[in-house]
Amino acid sequence: MRRRRDRKRWPLVMVALALGLLVLGYYFYTEVRPAVIFGLRPDYAHAIPFQPVPLGLSSLRAEECGTCHQAIYEEWRSSIHAQAYTDPFFQAYWTKDNRIWICLNCHTPLENQQPTLITDIPRDRVEKAVQVHNPRYDPEYQREGVTCAACHVRNGTIFGPFGDSVAPHPTDYDPAFRTTAICYRCHNVVSGPFQFYNVGPCGTYAEYEGKYFMQQKGYICQTCHMPEVIRPAAKGGPLRHGRRHVWRGGHDPEMIRRAVAIYVQAEPLKPQPGETVTVTVTVINAGAGHKIPTGDPDRHFTVEFRVRDRDRHVLAEQVDTMGRWILWQPVIVEVYDNRLLPLASRDYQFTFTIPEGQSDLVLETQVRYHILTDGQHAMLREKYGLEADDPYRFLIYHREFPLNTQLALALEKQQLDSRLACRRQPETSAMFNPFHG
C-alpha cells in the first residue's frame, strides 16, 4: 500500500519541483540578473544634465559650432561619434535590448537629447527605473550622437584644452582634455552583479598599457585617436597645436592595420613535392596601447590558412580565432580571452604535406577583423531590423605564397613590401609600430 501511495505522490512532487524551478528562474531573471550586459557607475548611470545655450550662440547644434570651427566640425561629421545614435548596428542591437534607456547615456549623452528623465533606479535595476517625460527633449539633436556639447559645454560655458581663448562665447580651460580622463566615462564600462568578465564588457580604458606607451612614450588615448595638427582652432584664430576630431578606432580597418604587424616564416624555405611544410604567421600588437581587439566583446580576429590548386579549389584550410569567449546565460562568465596585450605576439602554425607531382599549389594566408560574427549579423538582419549593408568584417592582411622552391623569394618580397608600407604611413599617425620593418 505504501508503495502505491509513493507512486501516486511522485508525479505531484515532480510538478511541485518544476513549478518551484520556474518560480526561482522567474525571480532570478526579473529581480537578480541584470537586464544589461554591464553594471552601473554613478557617472554614466544618468545623462549629462541639461545644458543651456551659452551666450553668443543660437543653439548647441554641431552645425552652429561649425560656423567658426569648420575643420573640426567636418572631422566630427565623418566620425563614429557623430554616428553613435544613427549607426545601424547600434540601432539593431538597441532594438534587441528593447531600446533600454541606459544605452543612450553614452550614445546620446546629453539630457537635451533624451526623451525621458530618470528620477530613480531602484536597486540599480535599469529595467525598473522611474522615467518621466523630458519636456526639453530635442529629437533632431538626438541624432547628433556624441555631439560637440557632450564634451565641451557645461553650465553655459565652453570648455577646452586652451586657457587663453578669445571667443564670442564664454570659454574656460579644462585640463581633462589633455589627459585620458575625458574618455573615461564611456570607454570604461564596468561589470555588474552576476557578470564575471576579466576586465569589463567594454574596458578599453582599463586595458591601457601604463608602462611603455604611457610612461616612456607619453601617449594618451588622443595620441592615436585624435592625431595632432597645427592649425587655428577657429576661423581667424592663431595657429595652435590642436588635435583632429576623428576618433578612428575599432570601426576603421585602416586603423586596425596600423596597429597590427604580421610576420610570416616557413620551414623548409624551398619545399619539394612530398615534403611537409610548416608556415608560421606571427601576429603582433605593435601599435595599440590596449588589447586587440578591444571594445565590444563580440569583436575578434581570424587567422586563416588555405591551400589552393591552380583552379582555386581549396585542398586544406585552417582558421584560428583571437578574441573573447563569453557564456551569456544564465550568468555572464568570460570563459577565455586570448587577445593580445600591447607589444605582445602570438604564432599561428599551419602544416601541410605537398602531394607528389604537384608544384603549383598556393598557400593563402589572411587575417580578418570582425565586428561581430556571421550568426549575429544574420540575427540582427532577420529579427532586429538591420538593413544597411555596412561591412562588419574587414580584411587586414592577405598574401599568397607558392608551395614550391619560390617560397623563400616570396617571403622575402613580403617583408620588403611591409617595410615600404610602413614608411608610407601618414606622418600624422602617432601609432608606434616597431615591428613594421
360 phi and psi, to 5 degrees?
A: -115, 20
Domain limits, the chain? 1-32, 62-186+218-243, 253-423
pLDDT the model gives residue 17: 80
Distance between CA atoms of residues 150 and 186, nearest Å: 12
CB 278 within 8 A of CB 263: no
pLDDT the model gives residue 87: 95
Please tell me the pTM assigned to this model. Answer: 0.88
pLDDT the model gives residue 436: 41
Enclosing H/E stretch for 332: strand 332-337
CB 239 within 8 A of CB 321: no
pLDDT the model gives residue 425: 55
Tens place of pLDDT for every residue, the chain, 437 residues? 555 666 666 777 777 788 887 877 777 777 778 889 999 999 999 999 999 999 999 999 999 999 999 999 999 999 999 999 999 999 999 999 999 999 999 999 999 999 999 999 998 899 999 999 999 999 999 999 999 999 999 999 999 999 888 899 999 999 999 999 999 999 999 999 899 998 889 889 888 876 788 888 889 999 999 999 999 999 999 999 999 999 999 899 999 999 999 999 999 999 999 999 999 999 999 999 999 999 999 999 999 999 999 999 999 999 999 999 999 989 999 999 999 999 999 999 999 999 998 889 999 999 999 999 999 999 999 999 998 777 899 999 999 999 999 999 999 988 777 766 655 554 434 444 544 43
pLDDT the model gives residue 209: 74
Distance between CA atoms of residues 366 and 399, nearest Å: 6
pLDDT the model gives residue 8: 61
pLDDT the model gives residue 4: 61
pLDDT the model gives residue 151: 97
pLDDT the model gives residue 416: 77
pLDDT the model gives residue 316: 97
Q: Write a three-state SS string for the chain.
A: CHHHHHHHHHHHHHHHHHHHHHHHHHHHHHHHCCCCCCCCCCCCCCCECCCCCCCCCCCCCHHHHHCCCHHHHHHHHCCCCCCCCCCHHHHHHHHHCCCCHHHHHHHCCEHHHCCEEEEECHHHCHHHCEEEECCCCCHHHHCCCCCHHHHHEECCEEEECCCCCCCCCCEEECHHHHCCHHHHCCCCECCCCCEECCCCCECHHHHCCCCHHHHHCCCCHHHHHCCEEEEECCCCCCEEEEECCCCCCCCCHHHHHHHEEEEEEEECCCCCCCCEEEEEEEEEECCCCCCECCCCCCCEEEEEEEEECCCCCEEEEEEEEECEEEECCCCEEEEEECCECCCCEEEEEEEEECCCCCCCCEEEEEEEEECCCHHHHHHHHHHCCCCCCCCCEEEEEEEEEECCCCHHHHHHHHHHHHHHHHHCCCCCCCCCCCCCC
- 253-423 to CATH, choices 2.60.120.10, 1.20.120.1200, 2.60.40.10, 3.40.50.300: 2.60.40.10
